[in-house]
Each structure stands twice: as structure tokens, then as C-alpha cells.
Amino acid sequence: MTTRVTKAVIPAAGLGTRFLPATKAIPKEMIPLVDKPAIQYVVEEAVAVGLTDILIITGRNKSAIDDYFDRTPELERHLEAGSKKEELEQVQAIADLADIHFVRQGEARGLGHAVGVARRHVGDDPFAVLLGDDIMDPEVGVLAGMVRAFGERGSSVLAIRRVPQDQVCLYGSAAVEAVPGEESLVRIRDIVEKPDPAEAPSDLAVMGRYVLTPAIFDEIDRTVPGRGGEIQLTDAIRSLLAKQEVYGYTFSEGRFDVGNKLDYLRATVELALAREDLGPAFRGWLVDYLGRS
């Protein structure tokens, strides 16, 4: 197995029930943040750290995602004829972002199962998993740090962050120990999917970024349905722990859970404020608006 990571898997087959009613007709991954669908931020984050072979796991009612990353000759001709150079470049750049592949999950049987569907494409290579609900500020460099750590250690790395006690039950929760000489990297001792508060190993929660060795696929195959009756990636990682080291990459800021409506609004505002073209005018309006209300 190489320690150079070039493949990314983006599970996008979920039903999006946390974002109803919009997700009744639109895949949650296609809900825009400012002017780009959420999944584009995730693809761009992967590409920015050299993961240019991207597999998106889709399911029923997700064809808008395939369409989005496809070429659009008719639209391109229209923009060309209208001399809309900037728009044309934007539209073409989406299809040229990366080498994007699609596979369907068939049945929504959980995150572990969705990742398992990637086996044939990933083969014997290490790969990253990026969950579309988690949007990361690329400036913070979490995925870059994880890929670097994988290169140094050749072991799986999970993104982890401290969360308030009352939120531990929403995540994979990890028991960790320090690694001498490392600041961001810890060794994972145990991991439990969405534990009851009394059983939580710690307040360190797994966020939606993983760099995994291909050994995870055998563990997924052996994993029986767990929390929520679903095949959980966390449970497969727990079995992997018995065979290989697994590390946690700790970080503290720059993550939005855009499946959550309040966090979605925060992400929209912060991303808009950070934009060179829209930020200054939006800030001016926002300050004025808040002053009035």
C-alpha cells in the first residue's frame, strides 16, 4: 500500500431528513451556500490537497449531483454567444475540477455500507472519506494535516474535535491517548457511535473527515447493523483498531454542520462575508440591519 493519498470518497446517498422540506425535491448536497452547492465545497477541499480521483456515492433522487459535475454544451454555447466569459469559465471549471466518478449505493444501509460500496474503485489504495454535511474552512487545513499524518504514519487518521457534553451523543466518540512529540495527533484507543451520555468515552467527537487504509473494507464486510439499525463506519473502525493503529487529528474551529439549519445559516453568512466580491457590501448591509433590529 502506498502512503500517498489521491482518492476521495464522498457519500451522498442520505435522505436529508434534517433539511426537509427542501430535500423533498433537491438532494441535500445540492443546497447552495452563497452560490455553490454544498458538495462543490467538499470536492474543492479534496482537490486542494491533491485528491483528484473522486468517487461520489449516490442513490435514488440524486441525479442532480451527476448533472452538476457533467459538461453542459448547450449552456456553454449560450454563454459563449452572449460573451459571458466569466460565467462560461465558472461552468467549465466545475466539470474540470477533478476526475469524478459515481456509484450508487442501491439501498440506504448506513455510512459504513456506503463506504463499502467504494471498494472496487478504491482497491488497495488508501483513501479519504469526506462527509457532505461537514463543510470545513480550507484555511484551517484539517484535511491537509490528516493527509500529511497518513503519509508519515501509514495509519488511518480521523478528524476529531471537542464538543459540548450534550452533543456527544450525535457523533462517533473517541477515547484517545497522547502521542509523544505530536501536538495535533493522538492515538485512538476506542470509538463508539453516538453513545448514550453515560457510556461516552470522551467529549472528543469524530467530524466528517477520515483517511483510511484499504483494510477498512474487510472490517465493513464483517460489521453488523449497529446504532439506528445501520452499518456504521464507526463500528468498522472500532474493529480496525484491534489490528492497526488509528490516529485522531484534533482541531477546534472552521467546521459547519450544514445538515443543521442553524449551522447552515452561520456557514452561509461566514462564507459570504469571506468573499471578495460580495463580502464588503454584505457586511455593510448586515451591520446596518442588525443595528436596526
Strands 246-250 and 156-162: parallel
Are 40 and 51 contacting, i.e. CB atoms less than 8 angstroms apart?
no
Binder among 41, 68, 171, 249 for ligand G1P (CB under 6 A): 171
Judged by CB under 6 A, the stretch of 85-93, 121-129, 131-139, 285-293 that binds ligand G1P is: 131-139
Task: Compute the least distance from the CB of residue 92 to ligand G1P, in Å.
Answer: 32
Could you give the count of Cα atoms lying within 13 Å of 19 in the half-sphere of its Cβ? 24
Judged by CB under 6 A, the stretch of 34-42, 60-68, 101-109, 204-212 that binds ligand G1P is: 204-212
Residue 143: is it exposed, middle or buried by C-beta count within 10 angstroms (0-12/13-18/19+)?
buried
Q: What angle do CA 123, 142, 244 make, to 5 degrees?
A: 45
Binder among 33, 206, 211, 216 for ligand G1P (CB under 6 A): 206
Nearer to ligand G1P, 37 or 112 (CB): 112
Judged by CB under 6 A, the stretch of 66-74, 89-97, 142-150, 205-213 that binds ligand G1P is: 205-213
**Bridge partners, 222 (sequence order):** none
Q: Which three cell numbers stand for residue 284?
A: 455593510
CA distance 13 to 149: 29
Judged by CB under 6 A, the stretch of 120-128, 210-218, 227-235, 270-278 that binds ligand G1P is: 227-235
Judged by CB under 6 A, the stretch of 45-53, 80-88, 137-145, 226-234 that binds ligand G1P is: 226-234
- With left for phi above 0 and alpha for psi between -120 and 50, is residue 77 left, alpha or beta? alpha
Are 216 and 150 contacting, i.e. CB atoms less than 8 angstroms apart?
no
207 contributes a contact to ligand G1P by CB under 6 A:
yes
Nearer to ligand G1P, 145 or 208 (CB): 208
Task: Compute the least distance from the CB of residue 113 to ligand G1P, in Å.
Answer: 11
193 contributes a contact to ligand G1P by CB under 6 A:
yes
146: which DSSP letter?
A: H
Task: Compute the least distance from the CB of residue 281 to ligand G1P, in Å.
Answer: 33
Q: Which of 126, 124, 128 is nearest to 144 (CA)?
A: 128
State the residues that interact with ligand G1P by CB under 6 A: 111, 131, 133-134, 171-172, 193, 205-208, 232-234
